[in-house]
Amino acid sequence: MERILRARALVAGSAEGPAVVSRQPLSLWGGLCPRTGEIIDRRHELSGEIVTGRVFVFPQGKGSSTSSATLLESIKAGVAPAGIINLKVDPILALGSIVSDELYHRAVPIVILSEEEFFSIKQGDHVTIEGDGTVKVRTTS
Amino acid sequence: MSVKLSRQDERLLAGRQGKAARMAMRILIRMGEVLDAPELMDISQAHIDGCGLLSDTGLEFAETLAAGDGRVSVPTTLNMGPLDLENWRHFGVNEEFAAKAIRQANAYTAMGCIPTWSCAPYQGYLTPRFGQQIAWGESNAICYANSVLGARTNRYGDFMDICAAITGRVPKCGLHLKENRKGQILLRLADIDPGVMQSNAFYAVLGHLIGSLVEENIPVIEGLDVEASSDQLKALCAAAASAGAVALFHAVGLTPEANSLTEAFGGNEPERVIDITFSDLQRAWSDLSTAEDKDKLDLVVLGCPHFSFDEFRELAGLIRAQTEKNGKLHPDVKFLVISCQTSYALVQRGEFLDKLRDFGVEVTLDTCVFHTPMVSADTKVIMTNSGKCAYYAPGELDVKVAFGTMADCVESAVKGYVYREEGLWKES
């Protein structure tokens, strides 16, 4: 079954991949290894997961403004998530992706969903993000 | 939502003033959309934090802007960088790291930034004035500029800061606008002895407590009616902006947008009221340390944020008192003071630099222990009088940390183990 959701495209672009889902905010600085794509915040529920090539669904970024640089580094290294779906706007994450787009012409699309739709995406769902903010969710199980 | 552009914005966007200005304007406009800003606005000063951390992409970004004829259009100071530019060899920094750090420094100065390399820019050169619209990076400096000086800045981090400096523009939103600077949470200092408020440690402890209580809301402190010094307010801002994301606080009767409680809240009612007691402060004091009394001490770090002339002088007085009773720096302890060239220039004209050096104090300039690899791997326990340093050291440097007064730090450096004087803070 495929559901079609309407998101606000914060950083526009298209992406596709399996969803990796958390209900906890994450600081990418100290939380995402920009060389391996692993979640390295050992207090985080996704600790040890690899986000590379997956659509990363988590409520919002938090903490240090250095998270912009972490996202930029991970995009350059080719280990960034395919796309990011958040509940709340985090300018620090958006900046990392926008600078990457300007510098390397490669961005990670970031979209914002309403609460109900955000929580409807489950781990392992196949998610497609389109340039206009359309999000297609296919439940695999 | 699209951001309305001025004629000058359009010129920059069209590349009339070079590739760097075009890229900076594109990033600002896209961030304006993210932030729902209706338009951009002028700033007349900038302070760059993005020059601090060394990463390959950060270096590439700075060099791309510099090579694209990037020039700052407003007076722009630099935060500490990743290297003590004169003395890095003395501190054992490797050549490859230093070479990249020097390239990054050169990229920022080539763009016209003033090489202040200071994380206390409000104590040095080009202090902003009340109401001035600025684009500042560095969390403690942002908090100080907004709260103590009454200048207006949002929290600008890496990349945005230099884009603002090149274009002289920022998205019009947040703390740049008066209506967003009203207090939200009332913090009442209940039973704090005025004598406690005179002590330097009080400000770091209060900042740490406030940061953990209010997160990123705007607190209004009632009852802090003292003549606090610039260094004391520096300590408060640094701790509050580390434990929480405090970019602005008001203190009734002390800070310039809070002549009264009504003014501080802009006519609104507080969303929450919290009473702060002395036992809350004692808990915050304990929370700043992960090391125990009597732990063997490896390193004292002072100057987070960068040491001022007054702080050097205070340290010299404490060291003089030690040497008069034959106290010497313990052979297993290193004693490091972090500062910037502007303060150090004054210290060189003072009469106490030799006393500091004779005792064994090492001074590093332009950088800090978190951004340059100068704390040796065998360092297990450090001691500091800084709430910010105490907050970040365990995670960033993988050490245990003891928070104490400057006098405690000197006494511990002589004893070779963590020592805090009985009295004010220890819960009995």
Note the pLDDT tens digit of each residue in B87-129: 999 999 999 999 999 999 999 999 999 999 999 999 988 999 9
Q: Of the residues A22, A27, A64, A120, which is catalytic?
A: A64
Q: Specify the pLDDT at position A141.
A: 63
Nearest to B23 among A73, A89, A102 (CB): A102
pLDDT at B195: 87
Q: What is the pLDDT along chain A (141 residues), one digit of tens a residue?
A: 899 999 999 999 999 999 999 999 998 988 999 999 999 988 889 999 999 999 999 999 887 778 899 999 999 999 999 999 999 999 999 999 999 999 999 999 999 999 999 999 999 999 999 999 999 999 976
In B160-199, the residues whose Cβ lies within 8 Å of chain A are 160
Quote the pLDDT of residue B245: 86
Residue B80 exposed, middle or buried by CB count within 10 Å (0-12, 13-18, 19+): buried
Q: Decide: residue B260, CB within 10 A, 0-12 exposed, 13-18 middle, 19+ buried.
A: exposed
Q: For residues A137 and A126, is the Cβ–Cβ distance under 8 A? A: yes
B171 has a pLDDT exceeding 80 = yes
Residues constituting chain B? 428
Q: Is B59 on the interface with A (CB under 8 A)?
A: no
Nearest to A98 among B27, B64, B155 (CB): B27
pLDDT score at B125: 81
B61 in Cβ contact with A103 (< 8 Å) = yes
Size of chain A in residues: 141
**Confidence at residue B427, expressed as pLDDT on a 0 to 100 scale:** 63
DSSP B146: I
- How much is the average pLDDT of B336-358? 94
Average pLDDT over every residue of B377-405: 94
Of B26, B139, B160, the CB nearest to A95: B160
- What percent of chain B has a predicted confidence (pLDDT) above 90? 87
User: DSSP H helical segments within A25-137, as ranges?
Assistant: 67-76, 91-104, 115-120
Q: Per-residue pLDDT for B53 more than 90?
A: no
Answer whether B173's CB lies under 8 Å from B37's CB. Answer: yes
Q: Which chain A residues have a beta carbon less than 8 Å from that of B26?
A: 102
- Residue type for B103, please? R
Residue A47 annotated among the catalytic residues of the structure: no
Max Cα distance, chain A (Å): 39
Residue B390 has pLDDT above 70, yes or no: yes
* Cβ–Cβ below 8 Å for A76 and B35: no
What are chain A's domains? 2-138 (3.50.30.10)
**pLDDT tens-digit map of B140-166:** 999 999 999 999 999 998 899 999 999
B155-B156-B162 Cα angle (round to 5) = 165
- pLDDT, tens only, B279-294: 999 999 999 999 999 9
Nearest chain A residue to B246 by CA: give it.
A63
What sign has the CA pseudo-torsion B283, B286, B290, B294?
Answer: negative
- A77 at interface of B, judged by CB pairs closer than 8 A: no
Interface of A with B in 6-65 (CB under 8 A): 10-11, 30, 65
The per-residue pLDDT for B1 is: 61
DSSP-derived letter for residue B151 is: -
Please give the pLDDT value at position A1.
Answer: 86
Pick the residue of A60, A65, A71, A112 with the most B CBs within 10 A to test the interface with B by mutation. Answer: A65
Task: Look at the block and give the residue holding tokens 């950083």.
Answer: A11
The reported pLDDT for the residue numbered B190 is: 86
φ, ψ of residue B228 to 5 degrees: the values are -75, 145
